Amino acid sequence: MAKSTPPSFERTKRSPLHALLSLIVPGLGQFVAKARTRGLTILLMVVTLFGLSMWTIAQRARFPDYSLSTAVFIKVVLATAALLVFLLALRHLFVRFVTKDPAMEAFSLYGVVILFFLLLVVIGPSQILPTVLRPEEISQVHGVTALYAGAALAALWLWQVVDAARIGGEHLRGKFLPSMGAAIVIACLLVFALGYNLTGVDLPKAIREYQDVGILLPRILWPWRSAFAYDQEVFEVVQKIQAPCPDGEVGPPSNPALPDDPWVSATPTCGQLSSRPITGGLELGTQLTITGGNFVPGQVVHVRWANPIGNPFTPRGMGETDITIDEDGGFTTTLNIPDAVVAPDTAVGTQIHSLIIRQESVLVFGGRLSEEMKLALIGLLETIMIGLMATFFGIVAAFPLSFLAAKNLMAPILGTPQRIVGSLAGALAGGWAGLQVTNFVSNSLGGLDKAPVQIFLVGLIAVLGLGYLGLQFGGRLSEMLLTRLGKDAGYWTASGLLALLAAYPGYRLGLGFSRGVRSIVVGNEIAAINEQWYGAIGAVLVTLAVFWYLYGKRETRRVPVGLILYGIVRTIFNIVRSVEALIYAIIAAIWVGLGPFAGTLALTLHTVASLAKLYSEAIESIDPGPLEALDAVGANRLQSVVYAVVPQIMPPVISFTVYRWDINVRMSTLLGFVGGGGIGFILLQWIRLYNYEAVGIAVWLIAITVAALDYVSSEIRERFV
C-alpha cells in the first residue's frame, strides 16, 4: 500500500508561466490566474512601498536626488534578491538531499529568513553595499535605509512570484487561495524600517548621551525643595576698581579695615582689563591682591564683578571665586581684572568697576510656599477651570445638536416641497427679524462694547426664536396656499421656488471656486476679473441640480429632509473634530489674545464636535421599542424624544461627559504652550528659563491632578452609569 503524504506537506504543482508574469509585473500572474483582487492588491502594495521607499531614501540623502536614489535602490533590491535566492536554493538542496524530511521544509524556511536578516545586519553595510554601489553613491545616499528597504521589497517581490506559481498550478486553481500573511508581515517590516530611518531613531545616541539628561532628571523628579520658601541673609561689600588705567592714575582708594563690620580691600585699585586678541588666547589683566575681614569663620563667600554700567557676573578663570573664610574671619586671595569691556557708546569718562564679595547665610526653612509653587497652583487652577468651562459650554451646545446628527431620529422626517419652501423662507425672514431686534437692543444699550453679554443673549434668543416661529408659520402657510393650486401645480411651483432659493448658495459656491481653486492656477488678479461669471454658473448649476432632484421625487413627492439635515450636520462635526484643538488655540490667541479665554474657546469648539458625535452614537444605539410605542399612541416628536430617547441615553451621556472633562483638563495643559493659558503657559516659560526645579513642580501637579480626576470620573461613572 502506497504511503500517503500529509495534506500540509502535499506537493503542489507550480506554474512557471504565472511566476514569470509576476516576476515581470507584480501581481500579473495572480491576475491571469483569475485571482484578480489578489493581483491588484499585490501590485498596489509593491508600487506603494516602492514609491515610499524611494521618497524615504531621497529624504535621508545628503542632497536629495530622486534619479540617483532610484538607481541605488534598484541595485540594492537586485543584490538582496540574489542573496535571498541563493539562500533559498541552499535550503532546497538541504531539504532534498540532506534531511529528506518534508517536515523540515517549513522549519528551514524560517531559518532562511532569520539568516537573511542576520546577514543584512552583520555584513550588509560593510560588504553588500560597497560591492553593489560606487563610493560616490554611498556618500550621497543613506545606504542603510536603502539596504533594509531594498531587502524587504526583494523578499516581497520573490514571495509574490512563488505565490503566482502556486495559484497558477492545477492543484490550487479554482480552490482556496493561500494566506497573504507573509506579504503583510514583510510589508509591515518594510514600513517599520522606513519609519525607523525617516524619524532618525538613534538608540545608541540615546544611551550614549544619557548623562546629559541624567543631570536634569533628579531636579525634575524631586523638585519639592523649590516648592517652599527659605529665608537667607545676603550681605555684600564692594571695592571700586578703575580699568583701564591711564598713565599717572592711581585709581579709587582702597577700603580701610573696619573693627566690627565685614570689609574688603584690594591693591592696586587701578589696572588693565584682560583681553582676547584676534590671534586667539587670553591675555590676563592686572592681578589684584584682595584681603577681607570680619566674616563668619568657615563660611564660603563668593567673588562677583560688576562692569561700569552695573552688570554683575562671576569672573571665572580670573582667580578663585568661591573662598572659604579662615578661623579668624578673614581671607586673602588674588584675582586678575576680567574682560569687562562695555559698549563704546557707554564707555565715557573714567571706567569704574565694582569688586563684590557676597556673603550668604545658611538657608532656613520659611514655612511658606515659594513663588514658583504659587504660580504653579494658580496655573493649575486655570487649567482645571478651562477644562470645566469648555466641557460645560460643550454640553450646552452638543446635547441638542446631537439629535440632528442621529440617523435613526432624522431618517423618518420627510417633507413636501410645498412645506419646505415656506419653512425656508419663514426661517430666513424670522432670522432677519431677530437681527433687527438685536440691533435695536444694541443701540439702546450703547453698543456691543457696553453690554456684550446682554446683547449676545438677546440676539441668540431673538434669532433662534423668531427663526423657529418663521419656520413653523411659513411652512404651514405655504403648504396651505400651494395646495389650493392643485396637486401637480402646487408641487411643481414649490419645486421651482426651492430651486430658485438654491441659486444664492450656488452663486457663493461659484465665487468660492473662482477665488479659491481657480486663483491657484491663474492668480488672484485674473481670477477676480470674471469671478461673477463663475458665480452665475454656480447658481445655474445648483438650481438645475435641485430641480432635477425634486423631479426624481415626483412619484413620492416626499423629500428626506431629516437625512439631508443629518448629512450636513454630521459633515460639519467631522470637519470641526478633525482639526486639533491646538490649531483652534492658535487662532483664538490671535483673536482674543493670550490667556485662558483663548484656551476655553479652542477647547469648547472641539468639545462640541466630539461630544455631539458621542451623544449621537448613543442615540442611534437606543432600543426603538419605547419610541415606536409613543408614536403609536399619538405622541408628538418632542414628547417621543423626551420620554423615550432621553432616559435611555443619560447613562452613556454622563459617562462621555465626565470622560471628556478628563480629556479637556489634560488637553488644556498643551494649549498653554501656544498661548491658551493655564499651567502649560507657565511651564513653557520655565522651560525657556532652564528652571527645571519649577518644571518638575508643574509636572508633578499635572500628574497629581490627572490621577485625581481619573479617580473622580471613575467614581461618577460607577455611581450613575
Q: Which domains does the chain have, with CATH numbers?
A: 11-201 (no CATH), 233-362 (2.60.40), 369-413+560-721 (1.10.3720.10)
6 vs 712: which has the higher pLDDT = 712
Average pLDDT, whole number, for the chain? 83
Beta bridge partner(s), residue 528: none
In one-letter notation, the amino acid at residue 118 is L
Q: Is 427 exposed, middle or buried (0-12, 13-18, 19+ CB in 10 A)?
A: buried
Q: What is the pLDDT of residues 678-693, one digit of tens each?
A: 898 899 889 888 888 8
Q: What is the pLDDT of residues 52-71, one digit of tens each?
A: 887 777 776 655 667 777 78
Please tell me whether the peptide bond between 560 and the residue prior to it is cis, using omega within 30 degrees of 0: no
pLDDT value of residue 316: 85
pLDDT value of residue 353: 92
- Calculate the alpha carbon distances from 22 to 46, 79, 133, 145, 163 in Å: 11, 19, 27, 26, 9
CA 496 to chain centre: 48
pLDDT band at 5; cut points 50, 70, 90: very low
Q: What is the pLDDT of residues 127-157, one digit of tens each?
A: 777 887 777 776 666 667 778 888 888 888 8
In one-letter notation, the amino acid at residue 565 is L
Residue 605, CB-side half-sphere exposure with 13 Å CA sphere? 20
pLDDT band at 521; cut points 50, 70, 90: confident
pLDDT value of residue 3: 45
Q: What is the DSSP string of 287-347?
A: EEEEEEESPPTT-EEEEEEE-TT--EE--TTSB--EEE--TTS-EEEEEEPP--PPPTTT-
What value does the mean pLDDT take over residues 467-473? 88
200 vs 259: which has the higher pLDDT = 259
Terminal CA-to-CA distance of the chain, rounded, Å? 69
Q: Does the pLDDT value for residue 653 go beyond 70?
A: yes
Q: Does the pLDDT value for residue 553 go beyond 70?
A: yes
**pTM of full prediction above 0.75:** no
- Quote the percentage of the chain above a pLDDT of 90: 18
pLDDT band at 121; cut points 50, 70, 90: confident
In the numeric block, which cell numbers belong to residue 653?
A: 451621556
What value does the mean pLDDT take over residues 657-662? 88
Q: Is 521 helix (H, G, I), strand (E, B) or coil?
A: helix
Lowest mean pLDDT among 119-128, 661-670, 688-697: 119-128
Structural element, H or E, at residue 312: strand 312-313
CA torsion sign for 411, 417, 419, 424 is: positive
pLDDT value of residue 6: 43
What value does the mean pLDDT take over residues 446-460? 82
Q: Is 646 exposed, middle or buried (0-12, 13-18, 19+ CB in 10 A)?
A: middle
Whether the CB-CB separation of 45 and 156 falls below 8 Å is answered with yes
In terms of DSSP H, where are the helices of 209-252? 210-221
pLDDT value of residue 342: 60
In one-letter notation, the amino acid at residue 196 is Y
121 φ, ψ (degrees, to nearest 5): -70, -40
Q: Single out the residue of 274, 268, 264 nearest to residue 249, CA to CA.
A: 268
Residue 468, CB-side half-sphere exposure with 13 Å CA sphere? 5
CA 466 to chain centre: 42
- Calculate the alpha carbon distances from 423 to 417, 470, 471, 472, 545 in Å: 10, 7, 4, 6, 20
Q: Does the pLDDT value for residue 14 go beyond 70?
A: yes
Structural element, H or E, at residue 333: strand 331-336
Whether the CB-CB separation of 582 and 672 falls below 8 Å is answered with no
What value does the mean pLDDT take over residues 406-425? 85
pLDDT band at 609; cut points 50, 70, 90: very high
Whether the CB-CB separation of 418 and 483 falls below 8 Å is answered with yes
What value does the mean pLDDT take over residues 430-447? 87
Q: Does the pLDDT value for residue 306 go beyond 50?
A: yes
In the numeric block, which cell numbers belong to residue 628?
A: 415606536
Whether the CB-CB separation of 288 and 272 falls below 8 Å is answered with no
Q: Does the pLDDT value for residue 356 go beyond 90?
A: yes
pLDDT band at 13; cut points 50, 70, 90: low
What value does the mean pLDDT take over residues 238-260? 88
pLDDT value of residue 7: 42
